[in-house]
Structure 1
Amino acid sequence: MSESILVAVAQFAPTSDPAENLASIDELASRAADRGARVVVFPEYSSFFEKDLGPRFVEAAEPLDGPFVTGLGRIARRLDLHVVAGLVAVAGTDRFSNTLVAVSPTGALEATYRKLHLYDAFGQRESDWVEAGGIEQPETFDVDGFTVGLQTCYDVRFPEVTRLLVDAGVEVVLLPAEWVRGPLKEHHWRTLVTARAIENTVYVAAADHTPPVGVGNSMIVDPSGVEIATIGDERGIAVAELRRDRLEGVRRVNPSLALRRFGVVPRSASA
């Protein structure tokens, strides 16, 4: 078990060309690896993105063993690090699955996550085109002794999602997003990411798109809510050290997980 790991968030604007997106991921992941990162987190919709959801997303959907994930595997293997990114994935319906994939340093797929809460808010209707993920036991993976879990964008507005991850043993939450711009949206982004870290005493590494569509402000927040690495509105990476002693120290001072009196129960289909 390592006493610390370096984690990077990478911020860029994915396009409708998966090959171009893989090239951006390769370049940014290489910069993260050069700085010693063991994990690099890319945004939601890293494989394919256009401003407006529509049939082209369904046409661009790939399986988990398709060229985009295979390309991530090559990058992870060459750089010897874990790569997490958003995939427009085949859903087996007339919609697609908004999926996160985590690829290990061997190039193998080590965890996936399908977005639970779809962005039917602020004038958007993600559910018109996206198949929501099922409520299942979270898939986690290990990075040098730290237990890592995944969630996506709008899910951060639902604190029970992060709590389910923490109940599964997660100490580091990776949060790819496409957090669109709008009134107070940047304020919501920073507040919610920070709150999820504080209330669960975990590290949160959140990666967004750059403007003009996303707000940017990708960040890594520690278990006490301190922003230990941040990117502004430009393409790039930020790297931070995640420390075991910091995690344990915060939990000694603020044992909120041990003191809580409520659990999380999935809502029934008929509710």
Structure 2
Amino acid sequence: MPETLKIAVAQSTIHQDPTDPGLLRASGTEVRALLRQAAEAGARLVHFTEGALTWPSKVIMSSLGPDEIGPSDWTKADWQVLQEELDSIAQLSGELGVWTVIPAVHQLPDARPHNSSYVVSDQGKVVARYDERMLSTTKITWMYTPGTAPVTFEVDGFRFGLALGLDVLFPELFTEYDRLDVDAVLVSYCSTGVGPNENIAVQARGTAANNTLWVSLAVPVDPESGLVSGVVDPHGQWAVQATDTLAVTDLRHAEISTIGREFRQRTRERVSS
């Protein structure tokens, strides 16, 4: 089993109008450029921010808007172009031989969509999808259907869990991944109009230390947010932070403490018995 795995965390721009095919294609173009850059750096897995393809605005999507916020009218979204961009990203992942975690809106036939992260294998196939569970007030009231379950997948002997948006604020989700024996959790997070958000980085570091696992935090380019993309090691320290568009580092099995995980499991079993 490989002892290391090179990961790249992207820091991209976001667009808030999924009704505009030009903006969707611009986001797709940027994602593919970052994929190529990460592959050139030797990454086996590339992790993107929430909103990498589109960060739908509650104002733009409002059925009562733009002056009044109401239920989102998802018929306005250009679903065909969004799917074409996702398909193109998946194809490139296969051509480059890299795994890709790319957030996007997931359409449902008879309900509001999910806010999701797709897992694309190095063969260019979508092999998993995670749906954000802890939706904000705006998201749950006007925009999305919440997810219901954790999702894990494996790359080269490393097991990953996924978190999205405000999931990062809920320690119980990471405790759940601890019990599922993951080595790392990939957190995709985006916020606009609210900042600074340094507390999100604090949450990521604390979660990594509390559960002795790696945490990758992918965020957009936004100097006002107080956040940059990066990877936190199992001791709660930054292993790397982005200075430009990518943060690249090696995850290492040797730094993941099974002793801490076994201790937590024994203690929980004693308390619950």
TM-score class normalised by the smaller sequence: 0.7 to 0.9
Distance 2:172 2:260 in 1: 23
Question: Which residue of structure 2 lines up, in the alignment, with residue 107 of structure 1?
Answer: 124
The answer on 1:218 being equivalent to 2:229 is yes
Question: Which residue of structure 1 lines up, in the alignment, with residue 253 of structure 2?
Answer: 244
Distance 2:27 2:217 in 1: 19
Distance 1:95 1:213 in 2: 31
Question: Which residue of structure 2 lines up, in the alignment, with residue 60 of structure 1?
Answer: 77
Distance 2:59 2:11 in 1: 21
1:54 Cα offset (Å): 4.0
Q: CA distance change for structure 1 residues 214 and 127 in 2, over 3 Å: closer, same or farther?
A: farther
Distance 1:9 1:71 in 2: 20
> How many pairs does the alignment contain?
252
Question: Which residue of structure 1 lines up, in the alignment, with residue 189 of structure 2?
Answer: 177
1:211 Cα offset (Å): 1.3
1:167 Cα offset (Å): 1.9
1:160 Cα offset (Å): 0.9
Question: Which residue of structure 1 lines up, in the alignment, with residue 38 of structure 2?
Answer: 32
Describe how 1:1-271 pairs up with structure 2 within 5 A: 1-15=1-15, 16=17, 17-55=23-61, 58=74, 59-60=76-77, 62=79, 66-93=83-110, 95-120=112-137, 125-136=138-149, 138-180=150-192, 182-186=194-198, 188-211=199-222, 214-231=225-242, 234=244, 236-247=245-256, 250-252=257-259, 256-261=263-268
CA radius of gyration, larger in = 2
* Residues 53, 104 of structure 2: 8 Å contact kept: yes
5+ residue gaps, structure 2, are: 18-22, 63-71
Q: CA distance change for structure 1 residues 207 and 181 in 2, over 3 Å: closer, same or farther?
A: farther
Distance 1:18 1:146 in 2: 32
Distance 1:92 1:262 in 2: 42
TM-score (ref. length: structure 2): 0.83
Q: CA distance change for structure 1 residues 105 and 39 in 2, over 3 Å: closer, same or farther?
A: same
Greater mean alpha carbon deviation, residues 89-98 or residues 111-120: 89-98
* Residues 147, 171 of structure 1: 8 Å contact kept: yes
Question: Which residue of structure 2 lines up, in the alignment, with residue 267 of structure 1?
Answer: none
Question: Which residue of structure 1 lines up, in the alignment, with residue 67 of structure 2?
Answer: none
5+ residue gaps, structure 1, are: 264-271
Deviation digits for residues 22-74 of structure 1 (CA, Å, limit 9, x no counterpart): 111111111111111111101112221255454277232648x9323212211
Distance 1:26 1:244 in 2: 29
* Residues 195, 225 of structure 2: 8 Å contact kept: no
1:209 Cα offset (Å): 1.1
Distance 2:119 2:78 in 1: 17
Classify the secondary structure of the residue corresponding to 2:143.
coil
* Residues 180, 213 of structure 1: 8 Å contact kept: no
* Residues 204, 221 of structure 1: 8 Å contact kept: yes
